Structure 1
Amino acid sequence: MSDSNHVIEQLCKDISWSPIAEECETKDVYCAMEQELVALETFLNRKLPKDYRWFMKSYGMRSFEDERVHLKLSGISLSFLSAFLAADSALVVTQMYSDDGEDRRIPDESLIIADSISGDFLVMDLCDERFGFIYFLSNLKPWGAFEDSDYLVLIAESLTDLLLKIVENDSVEEPAFNIPDEMIR
């Protein structure tokens, strides 16, 4: 196991996740299979970050029970983040919102890794310059109008960085969700 995998493994151990109902579920219900990750890479024509691959194979869409997920990063509340998308769901949602047309919401070389009930996303950038960076994307069209990447708000420089910020959050109070006025155009 690489050093980066050791780091994310320890961070995942430090986070409280909802338990697996062992009488009716197995870890495989939550975790990605290799062929699902390969399907994502094939669609995106890009390799996935190693920490994301490890996480999807080891934890996947397990739900947070950890109150430390209630934090603000770059003015954005992550209180909506109950779980990351399963690999097959990430593929479907990314396909839907990356196709050219009026539903297009994400830049090329991007993967939607989490969503909210109100249609907000966490998007992982897979381009060479920002490989693995994670952004918040609002469902509000006026906020950037989805014409360029200015509507993406940087949340973390990797999945490992995001989980580290959750683990290090010492303010477990659930913040009210809001978008700062200065970020709305």
Structure 2
Amino acid sequence: MLPLIHIHFVQVGNDSSHENGIICLQGYKVKQSYAPILEAIFNKHGDIAANCVFKTSSARTYFLEVVCEIVERIQTTDMIEIVEDIEGQLLDVEVANINVSWIRAHIEAFHKGNEARMLVKTKANLTLVKIPARRDLERRYAKFLAARERFEKADKCMQVLHLVEKKLNDSILDTKDAKDLYVKQPLL
């Protein structure tokens, strides 16, 4: 069970506005604007800075506020726009040994979801491209069939011409033989 969270307001400077306020939350003095986020984090994940490599409260607080900023940005901004920047911040926090595996899991899930969305989008685009490609293929196939038919007709025509030429050659040879016979035969 998590310990009770004690929150009290600490005023900074002479300004009495809550914007400049600091809240003490489980021993960490954080900006008041981050307190609700940090409290929710502590309630769900415990003290994520417990194993931080930095021992001073101020250093740990700095990283906790970075985590709060990351959470706030994830909740309020389109992830596509900020994911690279958040991953950079997350690496810094992880190096300090702040437990942000739950944010890392969220980002990895975003990447997988984004990859799935991109695959679906690519498939939809592929389908759109396939329609004109299929029409082009059908048009080219029809042209191919027509060209093949013309080729077959031309081939038959060439075969007929070869036959006619052979017949003519045979006839010429027969005529030459007959001529030679006629010339060689004496008249009397």
Which structure dedicates a bigger proportion of its chain to strand?
1
TM-score, normalised to structure 1, is 0.25
Between 1 and 2, higher relative CO (CA 8 Å, sep ≥ 6) is seen in 1
Which structure dedicates a bigger proportion of its chain to helix?
2
